[in-house]
Structure formats: structure tokens, C-alpha cells
Amino acid sequence: MKHTDYFKNFLENTVNMSQSNLDLLSQRVDTVYGVLKADDDLGPLIKKKIPQGSWPQKTIIRPQNGKPFDGDFMVQMVENPDWDDDKKKYGAAIFRVLHNTSPYKDMPHGRKCRCVYLKYANNAMHLDIVPFVIRADGTQCIINRDDNEWERTDTGGFTAWMKSQDAIANKHLREVIRIMKFLRDHKNSFTGTRSILLTTVLGEKVKEWHKIVDPGYYADLPTALLHIVSDLDDWLQLNPTKPMILDPAGTGTSFDHRWTQETYAYFRDRIHAHAAEIKAAYDETDFDKSVKKWQALFGDGFAAPKTAGAAGKYSALGTGAGSAGAATVSLPGRAG
């Protein structure tokens, strides 16, 4: 059964990032950017900031207790030909300002391959600041500090692709991604798979032609979850060896370096198990048994809305799967 009201409650009260944390993230990004822009040496080299990753893509989720939530933003910098032989100077310029400015100099901070990071008190928030450049030929590039190389990027293109795929899935793709990230982070499933990979492979399984064959293919969240994860599972089972995952924004950049064969194989096995668990919960026609199967997957946060009262059980039948209240699954033409 679908239990769409349970899913709505699960997303709102267990999975989704709170608005207060989103507001705090936005405020801190603005403050850090203001400090960078105000620096006499760095300021003239900075053009603008752009949110990156799960934040603008609306796939950011509530962090585990005791763990920070991450926010990424890009800082567009003027290309400096004098730095071509030592591209890490872009990140070093950002690091220098933070390293010498209160309160950031007293906070944990440092440099990683593609970003400068800041960690806030009590491990509550982690910011990644990614320098990028629009080069003379028009290409957008971030800097691989370890290899001293440009890496093509198009964060706006990726977010636009996500928006398009979400629209095809009746605005349920982002919800599915958040739920799958919850399984990874809060239930410790398929650890080792980075969000960019999870987002890409789930998004790539959304196809317009599925709706031509079955107009209800993405009709609601539980149905979209069933079909997207099942289609991903079909594709993964056809690929026992780590496949190439290209940036859907069309930059030609591969995300393969974020996976090893070992972490890919583990992800493949876990998705296979989750696809079966989702189908079993969806197909179960007994209300209480279906709820228990969903809860075995998602935990106690998968529950009826508190305002539903005793009638909540029966209202869920009406949203479950048609007039009979049973989850009828139609998978014509599903080839992944």
C-alpha cells in the first residue's frame, strides 16, 4: 500500500532539512562571502557566489544527530593567466583570507582537493567554498588542487537538468532522492556513495516515455519511489562492473573518481535489496503489515500524521492504490 499521508509526514518531520537550518546556511554563506569580497586583495578577483550541490537542487536532508549538515557554494573568480602553472593559488587566496580573519581563523578550516572548508562550533555545520573560473574560451572550470588541473563544470546546467527530470517525475524525483539519502545517512545503507552519484543515477532513470506507456508511472511519491528505484536496480544488475557516470549537464566530466569498484558493488547490492523491500511494502494489501514493512525500511519516523487521529488509517486506504485500497503495480515496458 502507498500510505501517501505517512510519506508526507515522513518527509516533513524526519527527512527534510528544517527551514531554520536552511535560513542559517544562507545567512552564513552571505557572511563568509561578504568577508571574502571585502578583502582588499581578494575582493577585486571575485565576481559572484553560486549555491552548489544539494542546497540549490533541493535534495538537502536533515543531518544525523551529532553530525553536521553540509552546504556548498561556488565563488567565481577572475581568471589569472599568471596562475596557470600553479592553479591551487585560487583556493589559496580564499584560504588566506579566512585563515587571517576572525572568527574563521579560530575555527577548524583547511583546504581539500576542490574547495576550502569551514567547520562551525559543536560540529553543527560544514561549509565547502569552491573557487571556479569562467575561462577566456567560455568554459566553466573548478580547480583540482591535487593534480593542478582544470575540471569542467556547469553547476547551473546540472540544477536545470534536475529541475527538468523532477518535472517529468511529477515533482517526485527530488523527494525520492531525499528519501534515498536518508537511507544512506540515517540507516547506514550504501555508505561510500557520494550524493552527486546518487542524484545522477536516480535522475537518469526518470524517462518521459514511461509516462506514455503508463500515465501513472510517477503519479505520487510512493509510486515514483517504487519505479525509479526499480529501474535503477534493473540497470545496476546489468552492470556488475563500475560504469562511467558522466555529468548530465554535458560538460564531459566523469564522476567515476568518486566511486571504487568496491563501493559501487556495495551500492549495487544494497539497491537490489531496497528495491525488493519497497516493492514488498507497496504490494502488501494488509494495512498494518504494509506499514510495518515500510517502517522496517525507514524506521519509526514513517508514521501517520499526528492530526490524522483514528481516521488516519482509513484515509490512507483511500490514497493507497485505487478504489480497492490495494497497491496494484503495473510495470509495462520497464527495462531500466
List pLDDT tens digits, range 99-125: 999 999 999 999 999 999 999 987 789
Mean pLDDT of 300-315: 67
Cα–Cα distance measured from residue 131 to residue 185, given in angstroms and rounded to the nearest whole number: 27
Copy the grid coordinates of residue 224: 515514483
> Do 267 and 309 belong to one domain?
yes
The CATH number covering residue 140 comes to 3.30.460.90
Bond preceding residue 240 cis, omega within 30 of 0: no
> Do 206 and 302 belong to one domain?
yes
Distances (CA, A) of 187 to 198, 222, 271, 283: 16, 19, 13, 23
**Of 44-53, 275-284, 302-311, the least confident:** 302-311
**Predicted pLDDT at 156:** 87
> Do 173 and 245 belong to one domain?
yes
* Helix intervals (H) in 41-88: 54-57
Cα–Cα distance measured from residue 292 to residue 167, given in angstroms and rounded to the nearest whole number: 31
> Do 287 and 255 belong to one domain?
yes
Cα–Cα distance measured from residue 251 to residue 161, given in angstroms and rounded to the nearest whole number: 12
In a domain, 256, yes or no: yes
Per the DSSP assignment, residues forming a β-bridge with 120 are none
8 Å CB contact between 8 and 296: no
In a domain, 330, yes or no: no
In a domain, 336, yes or no: no
Cα–Cα distance measured from residue 198 to residue 267, given in angstroms and rounded to the nearest whole number: 10
**Predicted pLDDT at 66:** 74
In a domain, 167, yes or no: yes
Backbone angles phi, psi at 151, to 5 degrees: -130, 125
In a domain, 324, yes or no: no
**Predicted pLDDT at 86:** 95
Q: What is the mean pLDDT of the chain?
A: 90
Mean pLDDT of 272-289: 98
Q: Does the structure show a pLDDT above 90 at 236? A: yes
> Do 137 and 42 belong to one domain?
yes
Ordered DSSP codes for 115-136: -EEEE-GGG-EEEEEEEEEE-T
**Predicted pLDDT at 170:** 98
Question: What is the pLDDT confidence band of residue 191, given thresholds at 50, 70 and 90?
Answer: very high
**Predicted pLDDT at 331:** 36
Distances (CA, A) of 77 to 41, 43, 164, 243, 283: 12, 9, 29, 33, 53
> Do 101 and 31 belong to one domain?
yes
Using the 8-state DSSP alphabet, how is residue 110 labeled?
E
Cα–Cα distance measured from residue 264 to residue 271, given in angstroms and rounded to the nearest whole number: 11
Q: Does the structure show a pLDDT above 80 at 70? A: yes
Question: What is the pLDDT confidence band of residue 329, given thresholds at 50, 70 and 90?
Answer: very low
Task: Give the end of a domain, one of 155, 175, 206.
Answer: 155
- Tell the residue number behind the cell numbers 552564513, with chain if given: 28
> Do 308 and 170 belong to one domain?
yes
Distances (CA, A) of 125 to 49, 69, 233, 268, 270: 19, 5, 33, 30, 28
In a domain, 257, yes or no: yes
Ordered DSSP codes for 169-213: TTT-HHHHHHHHHHHHHHS--STT--HHHHHHHHHHT--HHHHHH
> Do 49 and 118 belong to one domain?
yes
Which is more confidently placed, 258 or 294?
A: 294
Q: What's the predicted TM-score (pTM) here?
A: 0.88
> Do 174 and 292 belong to one domain?
yes
- How many domains does the chain contain in total? 2
Mean pLDDT of 192-221: 97
8 Å CB contact between 333 and 210: yes
Task: Give the end of a domain, one of 155, 180, 212.
Answer: 155
Mean pLDDT of 47-62: 92
Query: For residue 196, what are the domain limits?
Result: 4-14+158-318
> Do 42 and 88 belong to one domain?
yes
In a domain, 327, yes or no: no
In a domain, 233, yes or no: yes
> Do 235 and 222 belong to one domain?
yes
> Do 220 and 307 belong to one domain?
yes
pLDDT in tens, 136-165: 999 999 999 999 999 999 988 998 999 999
Q: Does the structure show a pLDDT above 70 at 51? A: yes
Tell me what percent of the chain is helix, strand and coil, each rounded to the nearest 5: 50, 15, 35
* 69-77 and 46-52 strand pairing: antiparallel
**Predicted pLDDT at 271:** 98
Cα–Cα distance measured from residue 308 to residue 86, given in angstroms and rounded to the nearest whole number: 61
Q: Does the structure show a pLDDT above 60 at 285? A: yes
Task: Give the end of a domain, one of 155, 189, 211.
Answer: 155
* 125-134 and 69-77 strand pairing: parallel
Q: Does the structure show a pLDDT above 50 at 96? A: yes
**pLDDT above 70 coverage of the chain, percent:** 91
Question: What is the pLDDT confidence band of residue 308, given thresholds at 50, 70 and 90?
Answer: very low
